[in-house]
Homo-oligomer: A and B are copies of this chain.
Amino acid sequence: MIRVRQLEVLCAVIDLGTTSGAAEALSVSQPAVSNMIRHIEDLVGFPLFKREKGRLTPTPEALHIAQEAQHLFSQQKRVDRIIDQLRGGTVGQLNVIATPSIGYALLPRMIAEFTRSRPRVQLSLEVGSVDEIIQHLISGRADLGFSITSPRHSALSVRPMAAGDMVCACPPDHELAHARSINLLDLNHVRHISYGSGTPLGQMIDEVYSRHGTERRYFCEVRHTSTALEMVAAGAGVALVDSFALMGRARQDVSVRAIQPALSVTLHGVTSNLYPTSHVALQFQEFMREALSDPELPHRVEIT
């Protein structure tokens, strides 16, 4: 089987007309070219050049081969270009699935920024429950998941990406907006939005209440912190939300206050062990980790 390199040399000699010219064009020495031509002729079994008066003139066969070789070169360049794109992560597929608090505001922004320099990445962003995240990852429909509650599944790899806190979001004109710090138990005294006792978030909060011998009382139950946040923004009341839900949106319509006691949450990146994780997916995960750990970034929520 003839090698690409051999065809390259052949074509160079045909194009440039002399071995020395071809050698210069290929940045090799003249004897290298000369030997190669001789070698190819041995290989194919018929002369590729007529040697006359110390000059080389290509035979019709050589011209024919050179013509056909062009397609081969372009295919090789094409593969090379694709590898280059894969290396830069500018090509590929990235299917992300995340829980609502991350998926509604933070992730769209992150993805927008990430893909600005990678125009040829095929994207999808899905929002779903932890169970759906697990299903999408183990079935291979998603490459990368993000979740606050860490999914427990042996086929999944979970790694902590960033630390956050539960904070209190309230309308700017709300009485609590002026308090320095808000005790979690005080929420029982205002109309507020909270989460079902069956959800991980609800359980986390319930635990604090039960430690103090009281019970949580709220006027509206929602499932996602992002939903709660929308209601707060609409002036319906106050709510506890994780700080990730607040990231990535410029909100003049909600004030944010720290709570006592502090409740910390962690954003987890999740991948499947059943399939190799693509290069773009790993790049995006790293991109997220860095962006979230950078305190200068505008995604960051400052809690006044």
Q: Which residues of A contact B (CB under 8 A)?
A: 1-4, 7, 44-47, 49-50, 52, 57-61, 64-65, 67-69, 71-72, 75-76, 78-80, 82-83, 86-87, 92-93, 140, 273-279
Give the CA-CA distance A299 to B60 in the complex, in Å: 31
A282 to nearest B CB, angstroms? 9
Given contacts A57-B276, A75-B71, A92-B60, contact A2 B83 (CB under 8 A): yes
Given contacts A1-B80, A60-B93, A68-B82, list 7 more A-B pairs with CB under 8 A.
A2-B83, A4-B4, A4-B76, A7-B79, A61-B279, A65-B86, A72-B79
Q: With A61-B92, A140-B71 known to touch, is A80 a contact of B47 (CB < 8 Å)?
A: no
Docked-complex contact A276 and B58, CB < 8 angstroms: yes
B residues within 8 A CB of A50? Answer: 276
> With A and B bound together, what is the CA distance between A64 and B83 in angstroms?
9
Is B86 in contact with A64, judged by CB distance below 8 angstroms?
A: yes
Closest B residue by C-beta to A72: B75
Complex interface: chain B residues within 8 A of A52 (CB): 273
Separation of A47 and B281 alpha carbons in the complex (Å):
13
Given A60-B278, A276-B58, does the pair A44, B87 have CB atoms closer than 8 Å?
yes
Q: List 13 A-B contacts (CB under 8 A).
A: A2-B80, A4-B76, A46-B87, A58-B276, A59-B276, A61-B279, A64-B92, A65-B79, A65-B83, A65-B86, A68-B82, A68-B275, A71-B275
Least CB distance, A141 to chain B, in whole angstroms: 12
**How close is A271's CB to chain B, nearest CB, in angstroms?**
11
Residues of B within 8 A of A67 (CB): 276
Q: How far is the CA of A117 from the CA of B222 in the complex (A)?
A: 51
A126 to B278, CA, bound (A): 39
Q: Are B276 and A2 in contact, with the CB atoms below 8 A? A: no
Chain B nearest CB, measured from A283 CB (Å): 9
User: Closest chain B residue to A281 by CB distance?
Assistant: B60
- Interface contact B79-A274, CB-CB below 8 Å: no
Determine the chain B residues whose CB is within 8 A of the CB of A3 once the complex forms.
4
Which residue of chain B has its CB nearest to the CB of A40? B83
Instruction: Give CA–CA (A69, B275) in the complex, Å.
Output: 11
Residues of chain B with a CB closer than 8 A to A278's CB: 59-61
Chain B residues lying within 8 Å of A57, measured Cβ to Cβ, are 275-276
Indicate whether A61 sits within 8 Å of B86 (C-beta atoms), given known contacts A4-B3, A49-B276, A279-B46: yes
* CB-nearest residue of chain B to A59: B276
Residue of B nearest to A51 (CB): B276
Cβ distance A146 to chain B, nearest Cβ, rounded Å: 20
Interchain CB contact under 8 A, A82 and B65 = yes
